[in-house]
Structure 1
Amino acid sequence: MKKKYICIVLASNLILGSATLAFAATDTTGAATPTGKAATTTTETATTSSAVTTTGSAVLTTDSAVTITNSAVTTTNSAVTATDSAITTTDSAVTASDSAITNSVTPEKTATKTLSLKEAIQIMKTTGTSAETAALHRQADVAVGNGYSETVSKIKKTQDNLDLLSSLPDSWVESNYGESVVEMAYQAQLAGVSSNNKKIMQLRRDFARNNTENNYQAELNQIEADTISIYYKVLLAQDNLNIAKENLTTQQKTLKNVQAKKDVGLLSKKDVLQAQSAVADAESAVRSADTKLKYAKMSFNYLLGYNVQQEVVFTDTLDNIAAAAAEAVSADTAVNNALDNRIELKGAKLAVQVYEILLEDVKAYPKNSSTYLNAQINLAEAQKTSKDAYSKIEIDIRNKADLVQDKKAAVEAAKELLTYATEGVRLVQLTNEEGLSTVEELLAAQVNVYKAKLNLANANSDYALALKSYEFAQGVGTSRIPL
């Protein structure tokens, strides 16, 4: 009966004396730093002498798949020794047939798809590998919460059984279980059955239940951020290609005019060569922009699970996205939002609560003992981590707020620069017609317009991305945490 009862207690897998909290490390985005400490309050395990000794041919499999000879593994008081011929694999050790890997079917290319940014985000959040992974993680988090709940129930059941036995005569308990209630309670304590461990499991159970959906939302936020980023890259690549094509058309027209003037003796061969060089540069820029657009589209198709050659028409534009962007909230409001919502902060707070319980668990130890001091240090570190996490997240939010304003100002500056460059090329064209400016000056003015258009496209993209990053940082974030 003694063994039976001990098995009931130990089968609970309640080795909870060591509480390790692994929360995501605090970085510039404001996540909470892991304590990474194991606060052990109960048992230790020691191994002595030769833990395992195998002699002769420990393992031998035929057909030369794996052969281990001459004392394959020998553990002594200090080491593990394997001979030179411990493991030998032949050419036929591993063989993969043509059918070893299946289900590697490439998605079919279909008719041209029309896709807005909103539709792309919806697809990514509901289908595809990323969405499936997020759903599996949510199921795993539910299982973790259920596990903590079961552990709490097991501890309570064991404590109730011990309370019941303590109300019975000691002689009856010893005759039926082979040991006293005190001895059984001690064994249960070693197995992690304690009021403090139950409190810890209750805290972690409630934390897991309250943050399963937060974790899931954080993953969905990351999926949305990835989708937005790749969609914007395609739009930017499209804009760059269109701008490059416009520039090529302009340079070809300029070359035609220069050649005509040269033919009637108004310009020199040098002017023609300059115009031809500008056309060659413009053609090179078109080829480069086209290559970048193809790569961006293939990356987008891959992310959405399409055939990489799938034709997709993107209905949104960077100009429209930037123009439709809502005004960003103030930094103070954003900080309050983040401090209320970020799951890293909730995790750091839980760590403090757990280490407070663990310190309480060793209060009977001398205040100068290693056990008590380590528990005190662990709590202090958890408290510092929590405090630092709040500060770092506030720094990150305020920095993102400033970046949004910087990017917005950059868009306005890019628009003004384009207006200036466009007017500049108009004036140079007029003076060039009158012979008051050179072909070189005209070409330089046209290049300025080309660069100003590229600059505006990049500014619109950067502004839109900065706004989304600022928005996500005010919610649960984009990173899940272990529960």
Structure 2
Amino acid sequence: MKKKYMYIALAFALTLSSAVNTFGATATGGTADANTVTSPAITAVTSSAVTASTGTAISTTTDSAVSTSGTAIEGVSLPQITDAKTLSLEEAIKIMKTTGASAETAELHRQSDISVGNGYSETVSRIKDTQDKLDALSQAPDAWVEANYGQSVVEMSYEAQVAGVSSNNKKIMQLRRDFARANTENNYQAELNQIEADTTSLYYKVLLAQDSLKIAKDNLTTQQKTLKNVEAKKAVGVLSKKDVLQAKSSVADAESAVRSAETQLKYANMSFNYLLGYNVQQEVIFTDTLDTVAASAEMPSADTAVQNALNSRIELKGANFAIKVYQILLEDVKAYPKNSSTYLNAKINLAESEKTAKDAYSKIEIDIRNKYNVVQDKKAAVEAAKELLTYATEGERLVELTNEEGLSTVEELLATQVNVYKAKLNVANANSEYALAVKSYTFAQGVGTTRISL
């Protein structure tokens, strides 16, 4: 039975049958926040055509890849501990972007996006080929067509139309093809930005944990020294047993703080090593410090940053693309009565996509300007923390002098030492928060850190 052309149309229906319904479906609730702008069209424009062509692009892991001797999971080759590694933040980011597990995932996503673009291109070609064949068959005698294909040209054209073979669908697929090709690298860069953000955050956490441990150890040394002095004075009858007990209690608290800081540092180190693909017990020497990483960052003005973001953020590109798609879909139903549900839904979808894009611009500007203000706040907090440390240190010095003269109590001395300890921790935390705020502000000005659906 010769229904070759009908089979082509039906096969094509497997990839395009839901295209019009998907595009035309009303999608509401599109919002934009600090990192993501969601357009109703961004998800709507993902039709089954691409799913059929590229749905397996990311599924590359096989069960046979997992195997290791000496562990419950067979076949896994665990990273080995080597000599101590010296690592700057820049070097850590480079490793994560090139050889880390996250880099491999980003590259798989990039290849998948390329496949998506190719799938759209193939769909455009199939639509064009089908239209060309229909045009050619329309020139042949009807009897010949029915004898060879079992259907008339009109019937085949109708089936093809139902399957999605139309000029408007071709325009949409061309738009999606071009959009995917234009933004594959943007998506990839956004994912690399997220990798850098994650690496930076963990690197800073290690630095903060190191600083916290050093501060805790210094405080323990101070408390032990104070206890020794108090015990000496108690021995000659200058101080009471109560003073000794207070000093011992402070030493115990300081020892507990050291143990807690050691645990936090070990966890931060293991988390960092895991992220970079090292053995979790690998010794790493971190060369950067919290007070230098933030100071070296570029800080453009808020106006410049806003303009950079509006020119580059991939979410905005997606929102603008959605408008173009819905404009085509509205054009596709212009022959319907203006009060019909089909026409009104298409008109509403376009209006919603336009509002989403408009809101996205405003929300991204708010986000950028807020991040700029946060950076200024965190910078001021660093200066304030340093000032408080200066005051606390001077207060401790004065109380030490008066305590030697018997003009202040052990309790007052211990209190000033605790103030110095807390002030040092406050400086370390302020430096960490400032450094992260600067990074967040920097990333927000480019394509961002969030992939979008192509």
What TM-score does the superposition give when structure 1 sets the normalisation length?
A: 0.84
**Which of residues 426, 435, 453 is equivalent to 2:424?**
453
Q: How many residues align?
A: 424
**Which of residues 27, 33, 45 is equivalent to 1:28?**
33
Offset from partner CA, 1:88-142 (integer Å, 9 cap, x none): xxxxxxxxxx999532332211111111111111111111321111110000000
For residue 114 of structure 1, give the secondary structure of its aligned residue in structure 2.
strand
Aligned pair 1:305/2:305, yes or no?
no
What is the distance in 2 between the residues matched to 1:141 and 1:199? 20
CA contact (8 A) 1:26 1:32 kept: yes
Which residue in 2 is equivalent to 1:376? 347
For residue 430 of structure 1, give the secondary structure of its aligned residue in structure 2.
helix
Aligned pair 1:367/2:338, yes or no?
yes
Aligned pair 1:332/2:295, yes or no?
no
Please report how far the alpha carbon of residue 286 of structure 1 lies from its aligned counterpart in structure 2 after TM superposition. 0.6
What is the distance in 2 between the residues matched to 1:24 and 1:409? 38
Mean alpha-carbon deviation: is it higher for 7-16 or for 348-357?
7-16
Offset from partner CA, 1:39-96 (integer Å, 9 cap, x none): 9xxxxxxxxxxxxxxxxxxxxxxxxxxxxxxxxxxxxxxxxxxxxxxxxxxxxxxxxx
Mean alpha-carbon deviation: is it higher for 216-225 or for 435-444?
435-444
CA contact (8 A) 2:381 2:430 kept: yes
Which residue in 2 is equivalent to 1:9? 9
Compared with structure 1, are the counterparts of its residues 302 and 23 closer, same or farther at alpha carbon in structure 2 (3 Å cutoff)? farther
Offset from partner CA, 1:419-448 (integer Å, 9 cap, x none): 111111111111112222111111111111
What is the distance in 1 between the residues matched to 2:403 and 2:183? 68
Which residue in 1 is equivalent to 2:226? 254
CA contact (8 A) 2:388 2:423 kept: yes
CA contact (8 A) 1:243 1:453 kept: yes
Larger fraction in helix: 2
Please report how far the alpha carbon of residue 17 of structure 1 lies from its aligned counterpart in structure 2 after TM superposition. 2.0
Please report how far the alpha carbon of residue 233 of structure 1 lies from its aligned counterpart in structure 2 after TM superposition. 0.5
Report 1:279-318 matches (<5 A).
Answer: 279-318=251-290
Gaps of 5+ in 2: 46-69
What is the distance in 2 between the residues matched to 1:231 and 1:99? 29
Aligned pair 1:348/2:319, yes or no?
yes
**Which of residues 197, 204, 208 is equivalent to 2:180?**
208
Please report how far the alpha carbon of residue 3 of structure 1 lies from its aligned counterpart in structure 2 after TM superposition. 1.5
For residue 40 of structure 2, give the secondary structure of its aligned residue in structure 1.
coil
What is the distance in 2 between the residues matched to 1:334 and 1:181? 58
Please report how far the alpha carbon of residue 320 of structure 1 lies from its aligned counterpart in structure 2 after TM superposition. 2.0
What is the distance in 1 between the residues matched to 2:44 and 2:208? 49
Offset from partner CA, 1:319-353 (integer Å, 9 cap, x none): 22233333x21111111111111111111111111
Aligned pair 1:263/2:268, yes or no?
no
Letter in 1 for 2:16: L
For residue 262 of structure 1, give the secondary structure of its aligned residue in structure 2.
helix
**Which of residues 409, 415, 418 is equivalent to 2:389?**
418
Which residue in 2 is equivalent to 1:434? 405
What is the distance in 1 between the residues matched to 2:186 and 2:346? 30
What is the distance in 2 between the residues matched to 1:161 and 1:329? 57
Report 1:212-227 matches (<5 A).
Answer: 212-227=184-199
Which residue in 1 is equivalent to 2:49? none
Which residue in 2 is equivalent to 1:45? none
What is the distance in 2 between the residues matched to 1:155 and 1:401? 49
CA contact (8 A) 1:237 1:296 kept: yes
Compared with structure 1, are the counterparts of its residues 128 and 194 closer, same or farther at alpha carbon in structure 2 (3 Å cutoff)? same
CA contact (8 A) 2:211 2:428 kept: yes
CA contact (8 A) 1:114 1:314 kept: yes
Please report how far the alpha carbon of residue 310 of structure 1 lies from its aligned counterpart in structure 2 after TM superposition. 0.9
What is the distance in 2 between the residues matched to 1:113 and 1:99? 26
Which residue in 2 is equivalent to 1:393? 364
What TM-score does the superposition give when structure 2 sets the normalisation length?
A: 0.89
Compared with structure 1, are the counterparts of its residues 132 and 148 closer, same or farther at alpha carbon in structure 2 (3 Å cutoff)? same
What is the distance in 2 between the residues matched to 1:38 and 1:282? 58
Report 1:96-111 matches (<5 A).
Answer: 101-111=73-83
**Which of residues 362, 372, 375 is equivalent to 1:404?**
375
For residue 294 of structure 2, give the secondary structure of its aligned residue in structure 1.
helix
What is the distance in 1 between the residues matched to 2:237 and 2:72? 74
Aligned pair 1:163/2:135, yes or no?
yes
CA contact (8 A) 2:270 2:281 kept: yes
Please report how far the alpha carbon of residue 373 of structure 1 lies from its aligned counterpart in structure 2 after TM superposition. 1.4
Mean alpha-carbon deviation: is it higher for 431-440 or for 142-151?
431-440
Offset from partner CA, 1:387-410 (integer Å, 9 cap, x none): 111111111111111100000000
**Which of residues 150, 153, 157 is equivalent to 1:181?**
153
For residue 17 of structure 1, give the secondary structure of its aligned residue in structure 2.
helix
